[in-house]
A and B are shown apart, each in its own frame.
Chain A
Amino acid sequence: MRFVHTSDWQIGKVFRFADDDTQSVLQDQRLEVIGRLGQLARAQGAAAVVVAGDVYDHEIPAERTLRQPIERMRQFPDLCWHLIAGNHDPHVPGGIWDRLRAIGLPDNVTAHLDGQATPMDPAGTAWVIPGGLKRRHVATDPTADMDTAPTPPGVIRVGLAHGSVRDFGDTAHNPNRIAIDRARQAGLSYLALGDWHGMQRIDERTWYSGTPEIDGFDRGGDGGGNALVVELAGPNARPEVTSHRVGRFVWHRDSATLTGAQDIGALEHRLRNIDPQEAGRVLVWLSVRGALSLEDLQTYQNTLDALSSALRLLRVDGEPALLPRADDLDLFGTGAVREAARLLSERAATGPEEQRDIAVAALRRLALAVHAAPGGKGDAS
């Protein structure tokens, strides 16, 4: 038995930090990856795809958003798609799954809402034992009923659940907690889990597939972008799990301390080589510190402008300060402008951080204005 394990599609997710164009592309790719999952299943000879929760990002999506993934799955009638509710789209009365049921799902798509075990494919060699969520947060283990879930003898029991087997730091409140040895307790050949967006192996029979399309800079594990192809020779056979890249975008978080032109060049080189073939797939969140001379500051600004155009997204936190050195004041010439720069430098060196930050920015702006002015000091030098 071979099937594809995926989760956390979170269709309709909104990316607050992105501009409108990027937001549109990111949302679009979260739909397109369903097609790539179907193609992966066909290519790998899998008969089914199990989605371990969080198909949707919102409990109340728009009608179009509700239908979009269903229509994508409808395009693969040769595959059996098995869905459960996650914490983003729990099966609450009158909720999203009731709406889907009212719409009517295609024959090749099964929404496991009643906790009953169901054949994974028409042959019935494997049965899906679902553990979907009926609320966003449940205090009990959503997989607890798997231990006693009846299935025909001799079939492969595949658990499908959404929750956490790990403590994500909040020890006081950790809902949707799944027993880490649930596969063993329930006699599962494989426990397909969702919730964590990075792929993660818990044990040889318990896996998180991660989200097929990365949706953030800090997602743990490998960050996502993969799907798992699982092959089970029999109920007791060790599952063979292979990871396949299906995501389109590369999400990269970086930081840099800039003190000169060399650092700027290194940073540019590093960012451009994340995906040298297609920089438009790369989203970068850059944290910058340091201090630069006036000339380097201009170089830095030019570099940022270029990288912003090359990458899909460049999000920058912080900025380098202008070096408050005496010889830098010479760049402002003599007289009133130099005096203004001196006053700003003094202000940038003392006082609260917010005041210093504003003063540094003002000094940097003055320097750029002087440098850019026709017949300015920059041109003169």
Chain B
Amino acid sequence: MILHGLEVAQLRKFITPTRLCGLGPGLNVLAARNEFGKSTLLAALRAAFMLRHSSRGQPVRDLLPLSDRGAGPTVRVDFSIGDVSCQMEKRFLSRPSMTLQVAGGETFRNDDAEEQLQQIMGLEAQGRGEATGIWSALWVTQGDSLRQPDLSGRAGDRLTACLEGELGNITGGAEATRLLATVREERAVLLDGRGHPRGRYKSAIAEEEAAIAQIGRLVERRRVLEDDIETLAEQRRLLHHADDATRHEQEMADLAQARHERERLHQHAGRLRAAQAEVRVAQGALGLVEEDIARRAALETRRQQLHARATELRDAMEAARQRLARAEQAHAERQHDLDRAMAQLRDAREVHARVRRREQAGLWQRERADAATLVTRLEDAARDVARAEVHLATCRVDDAMIDRLRAAERTADRATAQCRAYATRLEFGLLPDMARQVSINGVPLDDVAQSDAAVEITTATTLHIAGIGDIRIQPPGDSDRDRALTARTRAREALAQLLAQAGCDDMAQALDAHAAWRQAERAVSDARKMQAHLLPADMADPAAALATAKARIMDLDRQLAGAGDDDAAATLPPLPDAQAAVTTAEARVEAARAALLRPDGENRQARDMLTRHETEMEQATQQLEQVTRELAAERVSQPDEALSARRDAARAARDAAEGAVRACEADCPDVDEAMVDAKISRLERALEDRRTRVGELRQSIAALSSRIEIAEGDGLDERIAGHERLRDGHARERAECARQVEILTLLADTLATTAREATEQYLAPLTRAMEPALRGLFPRAQVTLGQDFSITAVTRNTQEQFGDLSDGTREQIAVLARLGMADLLHTRGQHAMVILDDALTFSDSGRMERMFDILTEMSQRMQIIILTCRAEQFAGLGARRLSVVSE
């Protein structure tokens, strides 16, 4: 196939009709800058051949210009295949259409044209309006040169046909591959990618397992049901046994007999307990009588003892009373001594108080005199300070004023000196008395200066010399001089103004005034210092100190008035003597009190002894009276003879009761009560257990019957059989699937083996076609092809996987593979044409030269179009130079 012309319009950046010029057989190179539109031209060419005109898919929409989304991208192509020349025009999206004009033949339109084009080009319809073929592999778009060509579908078939044609027979590899794909698809229905069951195979396994599990559960339920049925039968048997009326009646009779025996035992025990109680009563009566006799003897003994004790106590009480009287006499004497000491102490304290009041009044009078002196001094100091401050206030030239005056004076001096710099100096050297002949501005020179002095003139001045005339002196006009004059005038005015504020006529007077201000200030300071010396340390305010002193005088006056007058105060002893008298009186009081309060052992002992003897005497008397009354009362109620007769009767009654107990014990039944109780308990428990057991069994039987009824109603056997049937069906299905998998696997493996062998046969020519070009670039290199015609490995020194090669090598090999395929197709009489868009970008200069040689050699047999942005690199290719012309 040879492309003769390509024209595009309204396609991406090419709005106006744009034509690719210069196309011809052999090598063609379009070298242009980036974004020139080279890839757009290739896209237009691919669209013309591979996309249906009616397509509205994304590849077609990508052809639209950005500026006009409603446009109809148009491509016109002139080409020839073999001896057939064709002209094709396709318009997409907006009013889509296609025309195909075959030279010397008819013109096809739209769908007919598409069909005709596919037949001519060997294109394969590929869904949604796209078409592709071997051309898609040979027309390499930008960025695709690194990838190997995709030779699926008809492209692969076409290549395969070429390869098998060379073998001279049909290898059947394609048919085997197709059948292999079918077999694998069928197997994929049963197995997933990892060889695990899927679909109905997986379902069969899962459902078989589920059925087995369900059968297990049902069998378990049936086992439980059978257990329940057996348990029910056993419990019914137990119920029948437990509910036996004969046994029940026998046990009831035994229980009644046992209870009767126990009643007899209880009656005998009652009688025995009554006899024993009689014995205890008789013994009690005898004990009481004997106790009465013993108590009466004890009372008599007690009465005699108490009488003797009372006699002893009366003697002891008399001795104690005499001893107590002596002790109380001594205590009265000590109390009198204390009263006398207390009176002396009161007198001494009275004298002492009067002496202290006299001393205090003297202190207050001295203090009042001091306070009055302070008040007088404070008032004098305050007056001195006030006078000094009034004088100071009359002095206006203080430090600040004198500083301001001095500064103004210095400013006036500087301004005057500056004026002098600009002044015209007239120096006079006049004869004596001639100065009067000279006047300046009407003022005689005598008044202005001495005759040999000099005059500085700063303004226009008229110098009059009598008899001679006027001399007018005009100082040179200058702005600096004017400013100096103005400044001097202002400085002098300021100085005069300040002097006026100070009330002075000149600076000397101002200095005197300032000295007077200093003197007044020192006077104020001295007065204040004097005043400060009079103030208390904690009080800085003179007025407050004065008020405080006055208040203290008034307070002292009040206290002195309150102290009153003591006419005999002068006769009183000094304070220390009065204090000593008080101390002496207090010592005497303390000594008397100590003597009085000192423990009086004799008095206490005598009193305690008397009290104890009185208490004991009282108790003994009371007890004696009590015992005497009790003895008398008892003998009145029961004489001693009657008490002895009562003791004899009680002893006889006790002996009779003990005889009755022995008779009752001899009459005891020959039965053990504990055994009878155990028998009754056993029988009662047995009857109760039977009742409980019967109830439990009936409940259990009812529950079991209900459960059995439910389980039986569920039809376990029938359900087990149903699930066994399901299990068998799923097992058969699983086995069938496994067998199918085995069959399909064997078939797939066999077909894969034979297909691979066949592929290896027909890949050999393709390998041979590629190797010359490949060895031009990589000497002694061999390639390994896969069944999809892709290069899987390259063998140089060692075998390297294609994916492991460098970008540059992979790109060069991918381009060489396309050239090899195209060459093979050409050799087999098929149509081939190669387009490379921006390919070989990763090649170094050495390999690029060799690629040029290979391309040049290939271009002798087919058209090769190279689109590149590197014009200088492809300049050495010696190819046709293509150009793009827009209308």
Contact = CB atoms under 8 A, between A and B. Distances in A.
B751 A61 contact: no
Given A14-B725, A336-B755, A61 B717 contact: yes
A94 B757 contact: no
Contacts of B177: 336
B314 interface: no
Interface string A325-336: 000000001111
A310 interface: no
A257 B712 CA distance: 48
A62 B729 CA distance: 22
Given A99-B712, A358-B742, A60 B176 contact: no
Interface stretch (A42-50, A160-168, A197-205, A359-367): A359-367
Nearest to B713: A63
Contacts of A344: 746-747, 750
22 contacts: A12-B721, A14-B724, A16-B725, A16-B729, A60-B225, A60-B716, A60-B717, A61-B718, A63-B714, A65-B718, A92-B229, A94-B229, A99-B709, A102-B709, A336-B172, A336-B173, A337-B754, A338-B172, A340-B754, A358-B739, A361-B739, A362-B750
A94 B719 contact: no
B747 A362 contact: yes
Nearest to B716: A60
A60 B754 contact: no
Nearest to B221: A60
Interface string A54-88: 00011111111110000000000000000000000
A349 interface: no
Interface string A260-284: 0000000000000000000000000
Q: Which of A23, A95, A344, A365 counts the most B-chain CB atoms under 10 A from its CB?
A: A365
Interface of B: 169-173, 175-177, 179, 182-183, 222, 225, 228-229, 232-233, 708-709, 711-719, 721-722, 724-725, 728-729, 739, 742-744, 746-747, 750-751, 753-755, 757-758
Contacts of A58: 715, 717-718, 721
A343 interface: yes
Given A60-B716, A93-B233, A362-B746, 5 more contacts: A59-B717, A63-B713, A96-B712, A337-B754, A339-B758
Contacts of A99: 709, 712
B717 A333 contact: no
A335 B725 CA distance: 47
B743 A361 contact: yes
Contacts of B722: 14
Nearest to A12: B718
A333 B175 contact: yes
Contacts of A336: 171-173, 175-177, 751, 754-755, 757-758
A369 interface: yes
Contacts of A286: none
A365 B176 contact: no
The 5 closest A-B pairs by CB, nearest first: A335-B172, A62-B715, A58-B717, A336-B176, A336-B754
A362 B182 contact: no
Contact of B172 (A61, A333, A361, A373): A333
Given A14-B721, A23-B725, A343-B750, A94 B708 contact: yes
A365 to B, nearest CB: 6
A370 interface: yes
Nearest to B715: A62
A361 B176 CA distance: 18
A15 interface: yes
Q: Which of B182, B709, B711, B715 counts the most A-chain CB atoms under 10 A from its CB?
A: B715
Contacts of A65: 715, 718
Contacts of B715: 12, 58, 60-66
B854 to A, nearest CB: 34
B247 to A, nearest CB: 25
Q: Which of B714, B753, B754 counts the most A-chain CB atoms under 10 A from its CB?
A: B754
Nearest to A354: B742
A340 B183 CA distance: 13
B761 to A, nearest CB: 9
B742 to A, nearest CB: 5
Size category of the binding interface on chain A: 35 or more
B306 to A, nearest CB: 103
Contacts of A17: 728
A94 B721 contact: no
B315 to A, nearest CB: 116
Given A335-B172, A336-B172, A337-B754, A366 B179 contact: yes
Contacts of B742: 358
Contacts of A337: 172, 175-176, 179, 751, 754
B228 to A, nearest CB: 8
Given A14-B724, A335-B171, A335-B176, A62 B718 contact: yes
Contacts of B228: 94
Interface in A1-28: 12-17, 19, 23
Contacts of B175: 333, 335-337
A370 B225 CA distance: 58
Given A14-B725, A58-B718, A335-B176, A369 B750 contact: no
Given A94-B232, A369-B182, A358 B746 contact: yes
A93 B232 CA distance: 9
Contacts of A366: 179, 747, 751
Given A366-B179, A370-B179, A335 B173 contact: yes
Contacts of A333: 170, 172, 175
A338 B172 CA distance: 8
A308 B747 CA distance: 27
A57 B721 contact: yes
A93 B704 CA distance: 13
Contacts of B724: 14, 16
A66 to B, nearest CB: 8
Contacts of B717: 58-61
B650 to A, nearest CB: 83
A337 B179 CA distance: 8
Contacts of A64: 715
Contacts of B222: 60
A340 B182 contact: no
Contacts of A365: 743-744, 747
A65 B171 CA distance: 65
A372 B603 CA distance: 156
Contact of B712 (A60, A340, A361): A60
Nearest to B726: A16
A115 to B, nearest CB: 19
A63 B711 CA distance: 10
A339 B183 contact: no
Contacts of A335: 169-173, 175-176, 754, 758
Interface string A350-361: 000000001101
Q: Which of B229, B717, B747, B757 counts the most A-chain CB atoms under 10 A from its CB?
A: B717
Nearest to B746: A362
A369 B185 CA distance: 13
Q: Which of B179, B228, B233, B755 counts the most A-chain CB atoms under 10 A from its CB?
A: B179
Contacts of B746: 344, 347, 358-359, 362
Given A93-B233, A335-B173, A362 B743 contact: yes
Nearest to B169: A334
A16 B709 CA distance: 27
Nearest to A11: B718
B753 A343 contact: yes
B718 A334 contact: no
A329 B169 CA distance: 18
Contacts of A94: 228-229, 232-233, 708, 712
Nearest to A360: B743
Contacts of A59: 717
A335 to B, nearest CB: 2
B743 A339 contact: no
Nearest to B182: A369
A58 B753 CA distance: 55
A94 B710 CA distance: 12
